[in-house]
Amino acid sequence: METVIGNPFIKALIFLFLVSATTAAGDAPFIISHKKASLTRLNSCAERVSVSIDIYNQGFSTVYDVSLVDDSWPKDLFDIISGNTSKSWERLDAGGILSHSFELDAKRQGMFHGAPAVITYRVPTKVSLQEAYSTPILPLDILAERPTENKLDWAKVMNDSFYIC
């Protein structure tokens, strides 16, 4: 007696199921988002935080009503200098990218750990809004005491490294 798995009809059904599941998953959008933050020292008691967020649709279908919200910047620690911490777009095509940036002024010294930004979007085949998260940022050491760099000292170190004793 032939086993059920050995039956050619059952093999064909399993194969068709796997192919249809792979194809269905391959047609879906796949949202990836990268959040970056950098510090610029303005003077000894002022530092600016530049934030940029890129949203990629690595899938094979367009998403609609894309919204980005990055509310991880407390108002008692940061002032918005330019841009907004949220943004909306009508759509993000398959293979497309959306970018958003804003700048903040830090109000006080300390270590800051920012949370990922939240991206919501609509897929025509689903009723509810879908949600994705950006990468988190590395901790920011706001207004940290950093040794001053003397460019002349760096030039001397570089020059000395070329001599062989």
- Kindly report the number of other CB atoms within 10 A of residue 39's CB atom: 15
Confidence of residue 147 (pLDDT cuts 50, 70, 90): low
Return the beta strands (E) in the chain as ranges.
31-43, 46-57, 63-69, 78-82, 86-92, 97-106, 110-112, 118-122, 130-133, 140-142
Q: How far apart are CA 20 and CA 13, in angstroms?
A: 11
Dig out the tokens for 84 from the structure: 């907004």
Query: Which residue is associated with the tokens 């059904």?
Result: 13
Using alpha carbons, select from 13, 37, 17 the residue that is nearest to residue 25. 17
Residues 47-56: tens digit of each pLDDT: 999 999 999 9
Domains of the chain, with CATH numbers?
30-143 (2.60.40.1530)
Residue closest to 55 by CA, chosen among 84, 88, 102, 104: 88
Which of 33-37, 42-46, 100-104 has the least mean pLDDT?
Answer: 42-46
Question: pLDDT band at 19, cuts 50/70/90?
Answer: very low
pLDDT of residue 39 exceeding 80, the answer is yes
pLDDT at residue 152 tops 70 = no
User: pLDDT per residue over 55-83, tens digit each?
Assistant: 999 999 999 999 999 999 999 999 999 99
**50 in Cβ contact with 101 (< 8 Å):** yes
Q: pLDDT tier at 2 (50, 70, 90 boundaries)?
A: very low
C-alpha torsion sign, points 61, 123, 92, 119: negative
Q: Express each pLDDT in 77-119 by its tens digit.
A: 999 999 999 999 999 999 999 999 999 999 999 999 999 999 9
In the predicted model, what is the mean pLDDT of the chain? 83
155 falls in which pLDDT band (50, 70, 90)? low
Which of 26-35, 107-116, 131-140 is least confident?
26-35
Measured between its terminal Cα atoms, the distance across the chain in Å is 85
pLDDT at 161: 47
d(CA 21, CA 49): 44
pTM over 0.85: no
